[in-house]
Amino acid sequence: MDAPGPGFEFEQPIYDLHCRLRELDEQSEKTTEVEDEVRGLRREIADLTKQVYSDLSPWQTVQVARHKSRPHTVDYLSLAFDEFVELHGDKHFGDDQAIRTGFAKLDQFKVMIVGHEKGRTYKEKSACYFGCSHPEGYRKAMGKMRMAAKYGLPIICLIDTPGAYPGIGAEERGQAQVIAENMYAMSRLKTLIICVVIGEGGSGGALGIGVGDRVAVLQHAYYSVISPEGCAGIIWKSHEYASKAAEALRFTSDHLKKLGVVDDIIAEPLGGAHRDHHQMASRVKMYLIKTLNELSTIPVDDLLQQRYDKFRRMGVFLESGESAAEATV
């Protein structure tokens, strides 16, 4: 285990146990006592990890969702899918690296993948602007999704972005326009759509590929109207209040489910998805297969009606004389 970096101070006690374990492992002579201690330590590590990760604060959750080793779209593509045939370009301006699209096979299903990609190396990260898509990314996504609908392929959207890119070119090429158009078109697309927030669900940038028949979120992912730093900047005029903002925004998986914004939560391996890519990918795979089986029996007109109703229900307000208490969730 790596030493806990900034933001991961909560992992320090787990790390300390790991260090002790390594010390024991390195001992040349393994007495029964040492072996007993090793066994005890392993159990202790598992228990402590479980305890720490079952009680993450919202701000800690954000750190986990952004963890440098957290599995990204490309990891799921290689671990959960049997094949990925990338389809590039928006046929208009360029090939945005922040959204990857293409054919993929999953069990017996042929699907269209649309996924944010944040990159792992510095070079990859800067090529895709750390997962912040420009308008051409959303246009590319929409183009491939339309094609999927034409040929009856289910669509799987993997959401993982800090937000749509804020820049001059992005504004010139219609960032607001493309996000609006994607939601508009996805709501009527005649094929089934499953969206999974695998890391960061950053505002409009996430929602631009986030309208579907099922929306799931990984246990330690988050989905928010604004980044905690952005919210802190507006309210407290300082990013240092980000943890307070994270608390106030109620964007962790349990709240998202309670608010009716996501349908399902996919549990992460012990200690977060970054600890075990294989297990995480296999859980996502199982979820997708189960949901594909379930949704593919529904006639497309019913599917569209249900998709509409699902988003139609979202929101909390008071109507004629209700008191505030009745409307809180």
Partner 1 sequence: MSQAAAKRQKRGVPEGLWQKCPGCQETIYSKTAEERLNVCPLCDHHFYVSARERIVQVLDVGTFEEWDADLKPADPLEFSDKRPYVEKLKSEQKRTGLNDAALTGTGMIRARRVALGVTDSAFFMGSMGSVVGERLTRLVERATEQDLPLIIVSGSGGGARMHEGILSLMQMAKVSAALARYGEAGGLFVSVLTNPTMGGVAASFASLGDVVFAEPRALIGFAGPRTIKATIKIELPKGFQTSEFLLEHGYIDRIVSRDKLKSEIARTIDYCGK
Determine how many CB atoms are found less than 10 A away from the CB of residue 292.
19
Name 199's Cβ contacts closer than 8 Å, sequence gap at least 6: 65, 66, 70, 72, 118, 159, 160, 218, 221
Give the residue with the Cβ less far from partner 1, 103 or 223. Answer: 223
CB of 267 to partner 1, least distance (A): 21
Q: Which is nearer to partner 1, 7 or 174 (CB)?
A: 174
Q: How far is the CB of 226 from partner 1 (least distance, A)?
A: 5
Contact 14, 45 (CB under 8 A): yes
Q: Judged by CB under 8 A, does residue 261 bind partner 1?
A: yes
Among 145, 193, 249, 266, binds partner 1 (CB under 8 A): 249
- The phi and psi torsions of 67 (rounded to 5 degrees) equal -50, 140
Residues 6 or more apart in contact with residue 129 via CB below 8 angstroms: 97, 98, 165
Non-local (6+) Cβ contacts of 304 within 8 A are: 188, 190
Instruction: Select the residue interacting with partner 1 from 31, 168, 297, 299 (CB under 8 A).
Output: 168
Cβ-based neighbours of 165, under 8 Å, separated by 6 or more: 98, 129, 132, 133, 134, 175, 205
Among residues 250, 257, 275, 285, the one that binds partner 1 under rule CB under 8 A: 250
CA 276 from centroid of its chain's CA atoms? 16
Q: How near is the Cβ of 272 to partner 1 at its closest, in Å?
A: 22
Instruction: Give the burial class of 87: count Cβ atoms within 10 A of its Cβ; 0-12 exposed, 13-18 middle, 19 or more buried.
Output: middle
Q: Which one of 12, 92, 166, 286 is in contact with partner 1 (CB under 8 A)? A: 166
Size of residue set near partner 1 by CB under 8 A: 62
| Interacting span for partner 1 (CB under 8 A) from 23-31, 50-58, 65-73, 314-322 | 314-322
Nearest approach, Cβ of residue 134 and partner 1 (Å): 11
Closer CB to partner 1, residue 151 or residue 184? 184
Rounded CA separation 198/116 (Å): 9
Region 173-232 residues binding partner 1, contact defined as CB under 8 A: 173-177, 179-181, 183-185, 187-188, 203-204, 207-208, 210-211, 223-226, 230-231
Binding site for partner 1 (CB under 8 A): 164-168, 170-177, 179-181, 183-185, 187-188, 203-204, 207-208, 210-211, 223-226, 230-231, 234-236, 244, 248-251, 255-256, 259, 261, 307-308, 311-312, 314-322, 324, 327-329
